[in-house]
Structure 1
Amino acid sequence: MSVQAILMDKGCHVVTAAGTDTVKDACRLLHTNHIGAVVIVDRENRIEGIFTERDVVAAIAQRGISCMDLQLSEVMWKNVFSCSRSTSINRLMDIMNKQKARHLAVEHDGRLAGIVSIGDAVRHHIRAIEYEAEHIRSYIAG
């Protein structure tokens, strides 16, 4: 099973922002959409960075509440971990675990094609295990 299976299930829509948007704007997006990360893209939908709940906490801890007026380009994580649609779920989980990343952007031809969270990966991994267990039960019973 691959990242493509996750995207087919949840869709490819990603909440994005521009680097010129403020931290306050991004916090509003996170809250309104009930998400943990906003991908920062340029006009051609190329990934420039990512801004997560962790980044909100870090910005407040380092700069105080005045950080809300900063542009995302000043506080976003620029070293965005990404994968492709063909990345396996096991590889995806390995990357997330090693990088301690809860969100990975999905890139296709240098542009944003989706986003996957650790919750998405775990959900699909559990489904695969359940599917395999059911087939084993059927084989044994049959």
Structure 2
Amino acid sequence: MRTNGEFKKVLNNCDLRDLGYCRIPYTWCNKREGLSSISERIDRFLANSQWCQLFPFPTVTHRSVAYSDHILLCVETDDGCEIRQGRKPFRLKPMWVGEERCKQVIEEVWRGDLSDGTIEEVMRKIEGCNMKFNSWNKKKFGLVYKNL
């Protein structure tokens, strides 16, 4: 088991810093009540020095999310804009989770190893899921959100 000191050493060696958080102090809970309840801050938003120079006053907030025991992390830059690139970010819809095709799409796209292990490759795989889910969503559910 890794110690907190070892984790801090890795962050230092990789020039990463924890951006902290606002509001809710925990990002995971075991969904139990009373003395059996456990809450921890295990998810973090990390950034390197270059990113911190571009965005010197980020705000990280924790938001609840359905179908997970983890809390969504959101980062806002000093100008109050959520960090986004281009289009609306990919979101896994709660209505997809119970569908067998949801699991199949993820398995198809993520099959095999991450050959170079870069963030670009991870982003390509997420974009691949996004494209397949959007196509499947239109066929399976139609324009649910537009109709609502």
* Fold agreement, TM-score > 0.5: no
TM (norm. structure 1) is: 0.26
Report 1 or 2 for greater relative contact order, CA contacts < 8 Å, sequence distance ≥ 6. Answer: 1
More helix by percentage: 1
TM (norm. structure 2) is: 0.25
More strand by percentage: 1
